């Protein structure tokens, strides 16, 4: 039968160490709780608004990359068509020179210079031939046309290769910016999910109150500076209440520059895709000069754009979770206005 021994009591030193360790864990936990408290509803809203703002910045960059992508694709297609036509012309010229060679062969021999052309790199032909005296004027002209066409084709092919590289770079920028937008939106959603049901309901109510500004407020008695501005503002007003969505140009949803671009298109004016590019159109004006229909730029990097509606109000597509609505200019950092037409 095995013996039963009473466990050896822990030494005073061991008890002291364990107690100290437990105390340290408690202290660290307490410090962590104090250092990282649960953010309040207002703090979450502030962080979420910042993330939405950063997402809009990335969206305008993505819009620019997408527009450039489309332009490059069109340019590459045009260059490739030009190369194809040039190659056909070159083939025709070569066939003509071949016919000359065949005729000379049948008549008793082929000119050594043409033989050299037909059997070596045509790009170097004229440099390799020390004298063209033995060629007829017609043959010389044909050879020079071929050489010129080959050089032109080589340049066009290089241009196409350069454009293809630009396209690859632009496509990567577009992909990166889209991922950045999604990352910002995901981070914002995580913050919103950290709120209690009551806090979420409060934020939803706040947004609902703001979105009710789709109703026409007091816009004062200012009149548009031009028929173009008036038509653009009327077109934008038809979109009131439609949701904001990154990268969208209508008709179901809009981002900021998508809305302004659409509005001016209805007035017969084509604007570039991004807010930064739209800022370069027309005449720059100050805040006191704004008239209904003028474009209004916000933030240092001009990543947000709106239409001036009158009485210090703008009509715009603000951000995720909102709709096209009127809003006070005081809610955003004004930079300058732009008058079109």
Catalytic residue numbers, as ranges:
256, 304, 316
**Residue with the two structure tokens 């241009």:** 159
Q: Cα-Cα-Cα-Cα dihedral of 269, 270, 275, 280, to 10°?
A: -80
Q: How far is CA 155 from CA 83, 147, 159, in A?
A: 10, 12, 6
Contacts 24+ apart (CB under 8 A), 48-53: 48/188, 48/191, 48/192, 49/319, 51/184, 51/185, 51/187, 51/188, 51/191, 52/184, 52/185, 52/188, 52/319, 52/320, 52/321, 53/299, 53/319
* Per-position b or e across 146-162, b if 16+ CB within 10 A of its CB: bbebbeebeebeeebee
Closest to 264 measured CA to CA, from 225, 294, 220: 294
Helices (H), 194-287: 197-211, 227-237, 256-266, 275-278
- 57, with CB counted inside 10 A (0-12, 13-18, 19+), is buried
């Amino acid at each position: 039968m095995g013996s039963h021994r009473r466990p050896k009591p822990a030494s005073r030193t061991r008890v002291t160490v364990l107690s100290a360790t437990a105390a340290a864990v408690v202290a660290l936990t307490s410090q962590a709780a104090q250092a990282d408290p649960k953010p309040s509803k207002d703090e979450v809203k502030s962080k979420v608004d910042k993330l939405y703002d950063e997402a809009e910045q990335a969206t305008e960059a993505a819009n620019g990359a997408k527009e450039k992508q489309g332009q490059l694709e069109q340019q590459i297609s045009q260059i490739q068509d030009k190369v194809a036509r040039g190659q056909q012309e070159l083939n025709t010229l070569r066939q003509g020179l071949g016919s000359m060679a065949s005729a000379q062969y049948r008549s008793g021999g082929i000119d050594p210079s043409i033989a050299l052309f037909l059997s070596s790199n045509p790009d170097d032909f004229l440099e390799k031939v020390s004298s063209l005296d033995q060629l007829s004027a017609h043959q010389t002209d044909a050879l020079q046309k071929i050489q010129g066409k080959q050089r032109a084709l080589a340049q066009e092919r290089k241009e196409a290769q350069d454009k293809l590289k630009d396209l690859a770079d632009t496509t990567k920028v577009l992909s990166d910016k889209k991922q950045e937008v999604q990352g910002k939106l995901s981070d914002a959603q995580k913050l919103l999910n950290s709120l209690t049901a009551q806090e979420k309901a409060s934020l939803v109510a706040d947004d609902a109150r703001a979105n009710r500004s789709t109703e026409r407020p007091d816009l004062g008695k200012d009149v548009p500076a031009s028929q173009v501005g008036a038509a653009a503002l009327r077109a934008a007003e038809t979109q009131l209440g439609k949701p904001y969505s990154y990268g969208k140009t209508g008709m179901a949803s809009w981002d900021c520059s998508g809305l302004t671009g659409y509005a001016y298109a209805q007035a017969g004016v084509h604007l570039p895709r991004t807010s930064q590019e739209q800022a370069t159109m027309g005449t720059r004006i100050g805040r006191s000069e704004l008239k209904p229909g003028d474009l209004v730029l916000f933030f240092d990097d001009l990543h947000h754009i709106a239409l001036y509606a009158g009485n210090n109000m703008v009509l715009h597509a603000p951000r995720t979770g909102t709709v096209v609505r009127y809003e006070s200019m005081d809610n955003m950092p004004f930079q300058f206005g732009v008058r079109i037409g």
